[in-house]
Structure 1
């Protein structure tokens, strides 16, 4: 049993992830910004904690993570202004990484996206540019952190039913269901072979646990 904190606990992936972790016997805390979402989180079996990580400094986030063995970053600004995107997807994510180090929550799984990185190739005039830049910065910071980190980079997300199978040789233009992304996060947390790796993936034919060991 591990104590796992999900940051961005009301996101579509996080709401699918929490029940998987609870069913596996873990103690799950889901950090959410809106108190109106507490009941949604409670139905997953996780404990909701209301906190705005974008408005929290490192000390405050460290306190949130104080009893955690593992952290899952599944938060996002969800578009909108570049300022908000940088504040959440870059700055708050980076603070959460530093807070995890301070709290000795050694296992950290970052949900990124396929193609993330300094060579993302998104034009500065594109509305996606701020997100691409923010994720590149946060992922780079995590790779340099003294944590047992994994970066998961799914392709385009769908609302399809889970298949339990993926392809870790992700292809441009491919997709994967949010339910399978949730299953990949849960499996990655339990699979030491994913530590120190960036795993890009889309839907495929290989069982998730086998794909992550490969």
Structure 2
């Protein structure tokens, strides 16, 4: 079986960096491509992380420019985000940036696409009154719909509150998600990265699905088997 070539949009984010490391150290994958927006980030991935990099700012690049950067790859992971900086950037990065990458994938024939969204993004009643996050959720909800309407073999991952603790390798069964409400449906970023890897390795179980991710007590392998 040939190795999988993965491009990561938003590779410099906290989930992105963890994912780059996991893919680099997994023999099922070739060296990943880190798509970044600054020269410093480009230099880090090329010189320190030791992976391929592309200086392609999705916020300001055209669909054709993004398509050129990802051409030849088997899968694209979208883990980019404005990071709470300026409300308008939520719409130019989290929403339109995602839409442009989807269009770029379709343009060059890349079928596999994984996007990191947000828990319950489609549930307006859940997020409409969360102070400071309404615009973020509006963008995620709209982006997820664009992904679902695309021609791609997508997986939409919807993690809860992201933590920086060491990964546990354990997730909460989907039918028991509400048991974790008191803990803000939290999940470690390392576990999100690990699940992205497993989603790439198990497309039959994850394609065309929207999957909520919260830490729990079920091993990732068993969790995927239950999808």
Q: TM-score, normalised by structure 1?
A: 0.94
What is the aligned residue count? 214
* Cα deviation, residue 213, structure 1: 2.2
The aligned counterpart of 2:38 is 34
Alpha carbons of structure 1 residues 138 and 213: separation in structure 2 relative to 1, 3 Å: same
Candidates 78, 84, 96, aligned match of 2:101: 96
Name stretches of at least 5 consecutive residues in structure 1 with no aligned partner: none
**Farther off after superposition, 123-132 or 192-201:** 123-132
Task: Give the Cα separation in 1 of the matches to 2:45 and 2:118.
Answer: 24
Preserved contact between residue 192 and residue 213 of structure 2 (Cα < 8 Å): no
| CA-to-aligned-CA distance 1:47-71 (integer Å, 9 cap, x gap) | 1211110001111111111111100
* Cα deviation, residue 31, structure 1: 0.4
Task: Give the Cα separation in 2 of the matches to 1:184 and 1:40.
Answer: 25
Matches within 5 A, 1:1-214: 1-25=3-27, 26-27=29-30, 28-42=32-46, 43-117=48-122, 119=124, 121-123=126-128, 126-169=131-174, 170-171=177-178, 172=181, 173-192=184-203, 193-214=205-226
Which 4+ stretches in 1 moved above 4 angstroms? none
Q: TM-score, normalised by structure 2?
A: 0.89
Higher strand proportion (structure 1 or 2): 1
| CA-to-aligned-CA distance 1:43-102 (integer Å, 9 cap, x gap) | 444212111100011111111111111000000001122211100011111011111111
Alpha carbons of structure 1 residues 118 and 204: separation in structure 2 relative to 1, 3 Å: closer
* Cα deviation, residue 125, structure 1: 8.6
Name stretches of at least 5 consecutive residues in structure 2 with no aligned partner: none
* Cα deviation, residue 118, structure 1: 5.5
Give the RMSD, CA atoms, in angstroms. Answer: 1.6
